[in-house]
Amino acid sequence: MKPAALPWWAPPALTTFLLVFAWAQSSRLAWGTALAAGAWTLVALAGIAPDPRRLELHRAVSPGRLEAGEAGEVVIRLRRPGWPWSVLEVEDPGLEGLGGRWLLWAGGRGWAELRYRLPALPRGVYPLPPLTVGVGDLWGVWRRPDRRGPGEELRVWPRPLEAGPPGGAEAEPGKGPGIPHRGPWGSPAGLRPYRAGDRPSRLDWRRLTRGGPPLTKDLEEGAHTGPLLIVLDSPAFRPGPAFERALSLAAGLIRAAARQGQAVGLWDAGPPVRYLPPRVDAAIPLLDHLAAAAARGLEAGGRLQTALPPAAATVVLTTEPERWPAMPAQQVIRIGSRWEETGP
pLDDT, tens only, 1-35? 344 445 556 667 777 777 777 777 777 777 787 78
Please give the residue range of the domain that contains residue 298.
226-342
Please state whether beta strands 100-105 and 87-92 pair in parallel, antiparallel, or not at all (unpaired).
antiparallel
- According to the model, what pLDDT value does residue 251 have? 79
Q: How far apart are CA 343 and CA 326, in angstroms?
A: 6
For residues 15 and 104, membership in a common domain is answered with no
- According to the model, what pLDDT value does residue 64 have? 72
Percent of the chain exceeding pLDDT 70 equals 46
Residue that is last in its domain, among 98, 131, 157: 157
Beta strands, E only, 119-240? 124-128, 132-136, 147-148, 152-157, 192-193, 215-216, 228-232
Residue that is last in its domain, among 157, 177, 209: 157
Q: How far apart are CA 301 and CA 323, in angstroms?
A: 16
CA 160-262-182 angle, 5° bins: 30
Which strand ranges, in their side-by-side order, compose the sheet holding 56-62? 56-62, 72-79, 111-118
Q: Which amino acid is at 156?
A: V
Q: Report helix, strand or coil for 119.
A: coil
Beta strands, E only, 12-143? 56-62, 66-67, 72-79, 87-92, 100-105, 111-118, 124-128, 132-136
Q: Which amino acid is at 343?
A: G
Over the chain, what is the mean pLDDT?
65
Q: Which amino acid is at 56?
A: E
Could you give the number of structural domains in the chain? 3
Residue that is last in its domain, among 103, 128, 157: 157
Residue 168: pLDDT above 50? no
For residues 280 and 294, membership in a common domain is answered with yes
Alpha helix locations (H) across the chain? 10-25, 28-47, 205-209, 241-259, 283-296
In tens, the pLDDT along 95-125 reads: 766 777 777 665 555 667 788 888 888 877 7
| 148 domain residue, yes or no | yes
| 261 domain residue, yes or no | yes
- According to the model, what pLDDT value does residue 4 have? 45
Residues 285 and 271 sit within 8 Å (Cβ to Cβ) = no
